[in-house]
Structure 1
Amino acid sequence: MFGNYLIGLREGLEASLVVCILVAYLVKTGRRDALRPVWLGIAIACGISLAFGAMLEFGTQELTFEAQELLGGTLSIISVGLVTWMVFWMKRTARHLKADLHGKLDTALAMGTGALVATAFLAVGREGLETALFVWASVRASGEGSSAPLIGVLLGIATAILLGYLFYRGTLKINLAKFFRWTGAMLVVVAAGVLAYGVHDLQEARFLGGLGDKAFDISETVPPDSWYGTLLKGVFNFQPDPTVLQLTVWLLYLVPVLTLFLVDRGRPAGAPKVRPADSDSAPAS
């Protein structure tokens, strides 16, 4: 449940910040008349994201077992790729996100209502579709057979909306660069588990071999139905009896990606220092 809460919080906060930046800029520049098309674009993006999630959940139930596993494994791997790209993208652009959105909004204001709807839709829709796909893959990987993963996601999104509102009101300020850095690192760990589960799906679909080649089996030490086994499964997508291929893929993804994400690139010689205020941003400022 914690892993899914983290996904909802991280992805939801990105979308909330985007919304806050767009709305705050229009209010600050006296363009309240443009708020309606912006909210329309946001609503369309949310609706399409929900429809996409429902399609993933209910549209695959009539498939054969092997087809479900093949589709699930493929989409899990795609979702890991998208999330990996997202966390690195946010690491690079978090400090400049506000300026980039302001520039796009200025262009849209000059072009008219349709451009405003499209700008808001694209800004929020990407986050929504990524969230729907990764949540679906993560819930499949958790395999809890209960509503706990979905509750975790909803709680994460609710927390993100609350934080976004507090940012907008100026009553809460945190170091967003550090927040995205550490939640991004935890998401990489979650993504590694989803990737390993996706490989297992492809093995069960007979697309990949080695299903019977177990790297180890500690099911007696860490029973999957125990409270600690359930906790490890929910947070890290831990499996007590992974295949050799699963473990290999997990290590080949987690070690280099997490290292690259956490290692700071040195500031170029002569480059100006970034003031703390630049990274502790509140969208309304």
Structure 2
Amino acid sequence: MFATYLIGLREGLEAALVVSILVAYLVRSGRRHLLGSVWAGVGFAAVVSLGFGFALTFGPRGLTFEAQEVIGGTLSIVAVALVTWMIFWMASAARSLSGGLREQVDRAAELGRGSLAGVAALAVGREGLETALFLWAATRATARDADPSAAPLLAALLGILTAVVLGWLFYRGTLTIDLSRFFTWTGAFLVVIAAGVLAYGVHDLQEAGVLPGLDTLAFDVSAYVPPTSWYGTLLKGVLNFSPATTVLEAVVWVAYLVPVMTLFLLRSRRRAPRPTAPVTPAATSA
């Protein structure tokens, strides 16, 4: 549950920051009449994201087992690629996010309300689609190996609601946060989660017969970490840990985690000496 809460919080906070910056800039530049376009774009992005999540959840059920595994494994790998790109992009773009959005607002305002709605829809929709895909991939293994539960989705919803509250506080100017540090810590944890999602995506492809080695185990600790135990469920839900892991899953997990985490931490360390001012929508950079 914590993993899905973190995904909802981080992705939701990115979207909330975008909306708070857009709204604050329009208000302070005397363009309140354009706020309706922003909210229309946000609403459209939310509907599209929910529809995408619904299609992921209920779409593959009428297919054969092998087809479901191929789709699940492929989308899990796509989700990992997207979240990896998102982690590095947000780490580098956090300081210039506000300035870039203001330039887009100025250009869109000149073109009309529809253009401004498009800016809001694209900015928020990207986060929404990424969230839907990664949440689906992260919860798919847990839902299969344990009793299906709505708890992970409720945790993700709680994370999103927390992000909305934080975004509102940013807009009001009553809360500041070191975004560089926040995205560094959450980014590192998401790298670990993504490694587990990638390994399970490979497992799906092995079950579908696309990849070999389903019967070749690197280790099997099921006797010590029963999948139905509370700690087995916790490890599966947070880290996507499988007590019976194939050699290919283990190799993929290590091959992703070690270089990606190393590059991410090195990049974060290079940014650390630079002072980061507290971020509010009124600041010149977010």
**1:6-45 alignment, distance < 5 Å:** 6-45=6-45
- Aligned residue in 1 for 2:184: 181
Aligned-partner residue type, residue 204 of structure 2: D
- Aligned residue in 2 for 1:52: 52
Contact kept, 8 Å, 1:142 with 1:149, in 2: the verdict is no
Are residue 281 (structure 1) and residue 279 (structure 2) matched? yes
**1:103-252 alignment, distance < 5 Å:** 103-143=103-143, 144=146, 145-252=148-255
Equivalent-residue separation in structure 1 for 2:276 and 2:180 (angstroms): 10
> What do you get for the CA RMSD once the two structures are aligned?
1.4
| Cα offset, 1:264, TM superposition | 3.1
Percent identity (aligned): 62
Contact kept, 8 Å, 2:180 with 2:276, in 1: the verdict is no
> Number of paired residues?
279
- Aligned residue in 2 for 1:96: 96
Report the 3-state secondary structure (helix = DSSP H, G, I; strand = E; otherwise coil) of the residue aligned with 2:279: coil
| Cα offset, 1:49, TM superposition | 0.5
Equivalent-residue separation in structure 2 for 1:276 and 1:19 (angstroms): 21
The one-character-per-residue Cα deviations of 1:7-54 (angstroms, maximum 9, x if unpaired) are: 101101000000000000001111000000111011001100000100
| Cα offset, 1:181, TM superposition | 0.8
Contact kept, 8 Å, 1:5 with 1:154, in 2: the verdict is yes
Aligned-partner residue type, residue 211 of structure 1: L
| Cα offset, 1:267, TM superposition | 6.2
Report the 3-state secondary structure (helix = DSSP H, G, I; strand = E; otherwise coil) of the residue aligned with 1:212: coil
The one-character-per-residue Cα deviations of 1:215-274 (angstroms, maximum 9, x if unpaired) are: 000001111111111111111011111000000000000000011001137869xxxx85
Gaps in structure 2 of 5+ consecutive residues? none
Structure 1 residues 240, 265: CA separation in 2 closer, same or farther (over 3 Å shift)? closer
The one-character-per-residue Cα deviations of 1:166-196 (angstroms, maximum 9, x if unpaired) are: 1111111110110011101101100000000
Gaps in structure 1 of 5+ consecutive residues? none
TM-score, normalization by structure 2 = 0.95
Structure 1 residues 265, 233: CA separation in 2 closer, same or farther (over 3 Å shift)? closer
| Cα offset, 1:282, TM superposition | 1.1
Equivalent-residue separation in structure 1 for 2:32 and 2:141 (angstroms): 44
Report the 3-state secondary structure (helix = DSSP H, G, I; strand = E; otherwise coil) of the residue aligned with 1:216: strand
Structure 1 residues 234, 267: CA separation in 2 closer, same or farther (over 3 Å shift)? closer
- Aligned residue in 2 for 1:259: 262
TM-score, normalization by structure 1 = 0.95
Aligned-partner residue type, residue 253 of structure 1: Y
Structure 1 residues 15, 266: CA separation in 2 closer, same or farther (over 3 Å shift)? closer
